[in-house]
């Protein structure tokens, strides 16, 4: 609540009291009322924007049952927050699973970081957990008028276009001025609380000591990124029914998806077609539900580029400027920018046309056979590369199977693969299949020994509790200024004589790295025996096999669930080497960026906070009778480089 203002608290769907509503200018009274109503309905809400003071008379600093009149948009005196609601895709009126919850929290943090990088002051942002997903609130100071409503909605559309996908989405319907919002400190109780979909408390995760309003320029800059229907799109540069957008993307662009987006589809591009240095997920192609197409790159240098420029970059409109070429009669420009002729003036020489038509039909039959064979190869390759259960709809999306003929061919291919035993169909779920992988590799455990354990030395003697083997990945998830880089450089210091080491750094230049290394006592610069490489992304492309690869750090600014994809790709390049990968995490959080998605691949996962190190996951116990998972140790960093224990490893810290 803002001091001196009135806000409504509202509780929907109570069993016996209907809609419960009250108006408050006293924060303590609102907090008490919220506590009293907690768990008596799916949620307790309030209007984050202040309402007209006159409404206090409806129910002054207390709640009333069966409220027939609540706050409308016209009752809001001004806008003080722009709300961003991130939720995982799931059925209505149920709580999220832990994985869905963490995915939404990770996505909301990506939104938070994007806003900071886009010019929003950190002190204008609040980050929160809704109980089922993630919240970001931008402090604003806007009048409640049509222009502000459009500005807020355009900001939400821009974030939706940038961040929504098949896993999480940005709610674009929260831009009305009288929007109600979860009261933090109360329980989100949609549906029944079950072990896999529990009720959780909504809570603030990060807020500034003193919140300030974001500058209007930052809001306008964000709103300008909203996808729009440009005139050239409406005139036909991609809106016509015969244009195959999927084919265009597959031929000319590196893209992920498509992902569902507001009734349409969108494709995040691996790199911007106008600037290959823009590889940070900033470029997208989107198709509205109407069929109209848009393109956007979020970098300022690409702000003038749109779908028209993208289309003509790869498929320019044919030009006929040669003076020696006689122009064709009645030439017109079609909807997609191509030349159409007046058929009445070119249907001559019928005998020749008949011959050409017969030849063309034969060629088309050959092309049809070739196309079916190509589709069969693509489907078989896709199936062999799949993991777990998948649907025929997912296969169609991945391979761009849209025409009825292609779908008929795909059904025949699926049927044949089932008969061959290559795939099996789910007994209960329609159109669900999985690849039957019968390839096995024998494990000769009788001749195995512990000789395969890597003799790797860690700060604070982590190796005494967890074994690492060739090909393993270890993750160090650290909060800001907790000592991630100091730990990674200490690993180099303790192991450089035993293994070749490659250090991939995204944060430091030559001078800063030299200064960090000079802090190690007794070490001259010539004593360091490792290779330092400046790198910020695509680490799997530069991993050196059979060596220690240290990555400082793996930046995840969007699509947080892809952390496992990156770690898996890195592991495939290691050979008999290992990788130690640093991730950012929030203060006092347990897991780094990507949350549980980043837990699957590492054999060792460390959580680092200032003065405290925890073994979150230790797959291979170094001591048979000591489970390392959950072990914590306190420490201090001496001289900016040396880790000195101030306690013993214990589960109780």
Instruction: Answer whether 606's CB lies under 8 Å from 591's CB.
Output: no
Residue 257 has pLDDT above 90, yes or no: no
Burial class (CB in 10 A: 0-12, 13-18, 19+), 47: buried
pLDDT, residue 267, reads 87
Range 305-333 average pLDDT: 59
Residue 212: pLDDT band (50, 70, 90) is very high
pLDDT, residue 99, reads 86
pLDDT, residue 333, reads 36
pLDDT, residue 335, reads 38
* Separation of alpha carbons 225 and 306, rounded Å: 11
pLDDT, residue 652, reads 64
3-state class (DSSP) for residue 521: coil
Read off the DSSP letter of residue 240.
S
pLDDT, residue 359, reads 46
Residue 324 has pLDDT above 70, yes or no: no
Q: What percentage of the chain exceeds 70 in pLDDT?
A: 86
Residue 328 has pLDDT above 70, yes or no: no
> Which of the two residues, 65 and 441, has the higher pLDDT score?
65
Tokens of 545: 């096999």
> Which of the two residues, 398 and 490, has the higher pLDDT score?
490
pLDDT, residue 445, reads 57
Burial class (CB in 10 A: 0-12, 13-18, 19+), 185: middle
Residue 336 has pLDDT above 50, yes or no: no
Paired with 175 in beta bridges are none
Residue 322: pLDDT band (50, 70, 90) is very low
* Separation of alpha carbons 271 and 256, rounded Å: 11
> Which of the two residues, 322 and 274, has the higher pLDDT score?
274
Which residue from 2, 368, 403 is spatially nearest to 241, judged by alpha carbons? 403
Paired with 614 in beta bridges are 607, 632
* Separation of alpha carbons 167 and 107, rounded Å: 10
Instruction: Answer whether 64's CB lies under 8 Å from 20's CB.
Output: yes
* Separation of alpha carbons 315 and 575, rounded Å: 43
Residue 407 has pLDDT above 70, yes or no: yes
Instruction: Answer whether 236's CB lies under 8 Å from 336's CB.
Output: yes
pLDDT, residue 325, reads 39
pLDDT, residue 459, reads 96
519-573 confidence digits (pLDDT tens): 999 999 889 999 999 888 888 888 888 899 999 988 866 566 678 888 888 998 8
Instruction: Answer whether 199's CB lies under 8 Å from 189's CB.
Output: yes
Average pLDDT, the chain: 84
Which residue from 498, 552, 492, 484 is spatially nearest to 520, judged by alpha carbons? 492
Q: Is the dihedral of CA 347, 348, 352, 354 positive or negative?
A: positive
pLDDT, residue 421, reads 87
Residue 286 has pLDDT above 70, yes or no: yes
Residue 197 has pLDDT above 60, yes or no: yes
Taking each helix axis from N to C end, the angle separating 350-384 and 404-420, rounded to the nearest 10 degrees, works out to: 40
Range 137-162 average pLDDT: 93
* Separation of alpha carbons 307 and 271, rounded Å: 15
pLDDT, residue 2, reads 76
Instruction: Answer whether 564's CB lies under 8 Å from 590's CB.
Output: no
pLDDT, residue 84, reads 97
Residue 136: pLDDT band (50, 70, 90) is very high
Per DSSP, the residues of 107-163 read HHHHHHHHHHHTT--GGGEEEEE-SSSEEEEEEEEEESSHHHHHHHHHHHHHHHHHH
The answer to whether the pTM exceeds 0.75 is no
Range 261-278 average pLDDT: 83
466-505 confidence digits (pLDDT tens): 999 999 999 999 998 899 999 999 999 999 988 899 999 9
pLDDT, residue 256, reads 82
Range 123-133 average pLDDT: 94
- 612 Cβ contact partners less than 8 Å away, ≥ 6 residues apart: 632, 633, 634, 635, 653
First to last CA, the chain: 36
Strongest mean pLDDT among 33-42, 325-334, 340-349, 593-602: 33-42
Instruction: Answer whether 492's CB lies under 8 Å from 503's CB.
Output: yes
Lowest mean pLDDT among 218-222, 381-385, 441-445, 589-593: 441-445
Strongest mean pLDDT among 260-269, 323-332, 369-378, 612-621: 612-621
* Separation of alpha carbons 149 and 175, rounded Å: 7
pLDDT, residue 345, reads 40
3-state class (DSSP) for residue 181: strand
In Å, how far are 170, 208, 326, 462 from 212, measured between CA atoms? 24, 9, 68, 43
* Separation of alpha carbons 432 and 617, rounded Å: 33
238-250 confidence digits (pLDDT tens): 344 467 888 888 8
């Amino acid at each position: 609540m803002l001091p001196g203002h009135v806000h409504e608290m509202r509780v929907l769907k109570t069993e016996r009291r209907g809609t419960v509503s009250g108006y408050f200018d006293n924060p303590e009274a609102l907090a008490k009322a919220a506590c009293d109503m907690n768990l008596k309905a799916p949620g307790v809400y309030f209007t984050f924007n202040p309402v007209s003071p006159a409404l206090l008379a409806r129910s002054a600093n207390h709640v009333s049952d069966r409220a027939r009149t609540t706050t409308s948009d016209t009752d809001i005196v001004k806008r003080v927050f722009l709300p961003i609601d991130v939720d995982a895709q799931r059925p209505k009126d149920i709580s999220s699973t832990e994985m869905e919850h963490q995915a939404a929290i990770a996505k909301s943090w990506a939104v938070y970081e994007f806003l900071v990088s886009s010019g929003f002051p950190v002190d204008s942002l609040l980050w929160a957990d809704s109980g089922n997903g993630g919240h970001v609130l931008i402090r604003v100071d806007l009048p409640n008028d049509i222009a502000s409503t459009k500005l807020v909605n355009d900001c939400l559309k821009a974030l939706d276009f940038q961040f929504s996908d098949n896993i999480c989405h940005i709610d674009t319907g929260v831009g009305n001025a009288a929007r109600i919002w979860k009261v933090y400190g109360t329980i989100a109780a949609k549906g029944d609380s079950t072990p896999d979909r529990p009720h959780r408390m909504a809570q603030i995760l990060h807020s500034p000591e003193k919140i300030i309003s974001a500058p209007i320029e930052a809001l306008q800059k964000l709103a300008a990124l909203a996808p729009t229907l440009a005139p050239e799109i409406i005139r036909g540069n991609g809106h016509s029914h015969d244009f195959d957008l999927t084919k265009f993307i597959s031929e000319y662009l590196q893209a992920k998806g498509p992902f569902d987006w507001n009734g349409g589809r969108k494709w995040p591009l691996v790199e911007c077609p106008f600037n290959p240095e823009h590889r940070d997920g900033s470029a997208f192609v989107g198709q509205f539900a109407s069929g109209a197409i848009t393109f956007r790159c979020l970098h300022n240098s690409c702000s003038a580029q749109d779908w028209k420029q993208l289309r003509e970059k790869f498929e320019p409109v044919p030009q006929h400027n040669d003076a020696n070429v006689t122009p064709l009669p009645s030439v017109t420009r079609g909807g997609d920018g191509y030349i159409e002729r007046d058929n009445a003036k070119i249907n001559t020489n019928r005998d020749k046309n008949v011959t050409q038509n017969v030849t063309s039909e034969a060629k088309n039959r050959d092309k049809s056979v070739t196309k079916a064979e190509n589709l069969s190869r693509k489907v078989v390759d896709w199936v062999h590369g799949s993991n777990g259960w998948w649907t025929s709809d997912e296969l169609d999306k991945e391979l761009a199977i849209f025409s009825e003929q292609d779908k008929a061919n795909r059904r025949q291919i699926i049927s044949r693969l089932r008969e061959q035993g290559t795939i099996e169909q789910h007994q209960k779920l329609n159109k669900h299949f999985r690849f039957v992988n019968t390839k096995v590799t024998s494990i000769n455990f009788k001749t195995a020994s512990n000789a395969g354990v890597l003799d790797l030395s860690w700060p604070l003697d982590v190796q005494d509790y967890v074994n690492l083997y060739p090909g393993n990945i270890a993750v160090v998830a650290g909060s800001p200024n907790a000592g991630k880089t100091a730990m990674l450089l200490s690993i180099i210091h303790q192991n450089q004589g035993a293994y070749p080491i490659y250090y991939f750094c995204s944060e430091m230049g030559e001078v800063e790295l030299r200064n960090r290394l000079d802090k190690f006592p007794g070490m001259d610069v010539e004593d360091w025996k490792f290779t330092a490489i400046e790198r910020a992304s695509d680490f799997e492309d530069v991993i050196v096999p059979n060596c220690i690869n240290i990555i400082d750090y793996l930046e995840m600014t969007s699509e947080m669930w892809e952390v496992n994809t990156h770690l898996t790709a890195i592991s495939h390049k290691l050979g008999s080497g290992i990788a130690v990968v640093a991730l950012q995490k929030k203060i006092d959080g347990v897991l780094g960026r990507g949350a549980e998605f980043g837990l699957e691949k590492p054999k060792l996962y460390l959580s680092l906070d200032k003065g405290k190190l925890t073994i979150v996951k230790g797959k291979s116990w170094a001591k048979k009778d000591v489970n390392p998972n959950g072990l914590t140790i306190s420490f201090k960093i001496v001289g900016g480089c040396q880790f000195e224990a101030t306690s013993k490893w214990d589960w109780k810290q």
